Chains A and B, each alone.
Chain A
Amino acid sequence: MSTDKQEREPLFSAKNRKLLTNPLNIDNPITVQVLGICSALAVTAKLKPAFVMSLSVIVVITLANLIISVMRNGIPPRIRIIVQLVVIASLVILVDQVLKAFVYDVSKQLSVFVGLIITNCIIMGRLEAFAMGNKPWPSILDGVGNGIGYAWVLVAVGFVRELFGSGTIWGFHVIPEAFYNIGYQNNGFMILPPMALIIVGIIIWIQRSRNPELIEEN
């Protein structure tokens, strides 16, 4: 909980900076906390949906963290999960409604993701683990940090899957026609969800071999 010392802390103190940077690597929501795997499999067949999804999650997780953190002292612990869900769901629906009215094209892109954002366990995980017990400003930083931590893994997986699965990046062909002429073929397995799991596994492998503190002793 808050102390007097915390209130005089500068906005980007070492501790606050850690909230932003830890989720990018040693506390990454996907590769270390292993949350949000479901959406990481579902939307990474192409780079563009992976990017749209990442952006939406960053926005929603930041706003939800802020709202829950403001409300945290009044929320009865016994119904806190329901309160968190209500906040996330209404936030997502509200954003979708506004987009539908003002930027219809964007909302058409997003409509698929609305359900996936609401059920993304990273968002609820951060509300429960962080925003319920911290002040608004650190909660915002934590939300942005975790959102970006989620985003880079999604974009990395989407990049690899689109490049080898469809031979394109962001919908543009990057593998030259000459390759196909000498017998190169797009890997159909890349398009299917299991490949996302394998790529996430490879990312976890690389990350752990570079960060010994992440390796469990057993």
Chain B
Amino acid sequence: MDPTLAGALQALALVAALALSHRPLGDYLAHLLTSAKHLRVERGIYRLIGVNGDFDQTWMAYLRSVLAFSAASVLFLYAFQRLQNHLWLSLGFPAVGPATAWNTAASFVTNTNWQSYSGEATMGHLVQMAGLAVQNFLSAAVAIGVVAALIRGFHRNRTDRVGNLWVDLVRVTLRLLLPVSVVFAIVFVAAGMVENLHAAAQVTTLSGGGQSLPGGPVASQEVIKEFGTNGGGFYNANSAHPFENPNPFTNWLEIYLLLVISFSLPRTFGTMVGDRRQGYAIVAVMAVFWVGSASLLTFFEWQHNGTALQAAGAAMEGKEVRFGIAASTLFASSTTLTSTGAVDAAHDSLSPLGGGVTVFDMMLGEIAPGGTGSGLYGMLVLAVVAVFVAGLMVGRTPEYLGKKLGGREMKFASLYILTTPAIVLIGTGVAMTFRGERAAILNSGPHGFSEVLYAFTSAANNNGSAFAGLTVTSTWWNTALGLVMLFGRLLPMVFVLALAGSLARQQPVPATAGTLPTHRPLFVGMLSGVVLIVVGLTYFPALALGPLAEGLHR
């Protein structure tokens, strides 16, 4: 079959699968996040953790719970890694160093899964499955809780209650993430992924050399790594590693899993606010960017500009033969447009403009469709901005879903959209001023700058993929990027929850002839424009110095 046709069919099959899941998964999540009934096992867990499952929190209490939970998680995960040599299944690895342990704890708690370590040479099986992978579940569930609080802000009136974090967290984990993981972990093993508790086995190869065959509970971790848009690889090579991604079918399934929650949450949103058309408008904007990014990236990789890629005759550096170009670019676009950051090809070796697309994807704020939960709340904040801009054009107080967007709401929305770019650009600027930190760059010229820009963009947006030529194992890089990940995760959550609280308090205003309909193609276009303009204006200078300088140079 012609590779172009095969690539198109592969993407179409993905679109079909996502479209089929949109309704059932979205409605199931809406039910989960609104039902008053608790399962017996959930009531047991509430007793164990000492919370009242029938008690709704104010936005402040919800936020305090998120922050306390994140703090406890970072400390727990840090201690776990520091003590791994005293625990079972450590495979003989020593305790993880303090800087790496801090960075990794921040990374997994924030759903980033940036990895400054090499899995097969650093982490024992226990710390992987009972430490890191647990946060794969919980960090995804927390973000779904936060977006649920924001949606409740839209559909609840005259209340200061936005939900209960512990209930959202327990329900999402037990009723969605865990059962789906069980099913697909078994599918993954059947398709060839490894799942054992062995240490590496030394074998003599066919030609008489030696090779070390690694083991590990990989399939069980792989599912939630994608489904929770985490992205932390069991092995250093992540989803390029044949044990994590043995064939094109598992590759396709991994892409599906990392997109499916985020593409279904707009349905949850539409259902919960009682107007499903609102969800369709949001999902349409997400789809526009996803299709655009995947098409552009694939086009640039097929073009294979760059002296090295031209010399080889195709952009195969850093790519696996079993995936080829199209399956690698589909993965790269999807992983950078969500907060996943798993990679099945080396992004550092993508063509100049292709690599630029992956950075740009993350700079969009990971909203198309974005990380589990975080994608939708990011998109809803931008929708608030779009409605506000439209309101300015006609000179009336804007409202979205019956809620007035006044000064208070716009302050939170503005702080949200300013935070991440500020962290990215200040971080990149600071790193570039230090000669010692610049020495971590592998590639020369604009591509070297792109490595640093990519690192801060990835960490601040909680993506976790990398232009991995950059050596980030030093104390400075580990500490700085750890802080960037925490600020990039928690500050936006503060503003989202504050916005939720402020919306929930309001009495809705009835729609009039002057209200901007937010479910029509006009609004889809308007919101897409706002996304592009906000991001474009913010990041253009930085992009010009890196990927654009390299890609447009002749």
A and B together in one complex: no
Which residues of B pack against A, CB within 8 Å?
none
Q: Which residues of A contact B (CB under 8 A)?
A: none
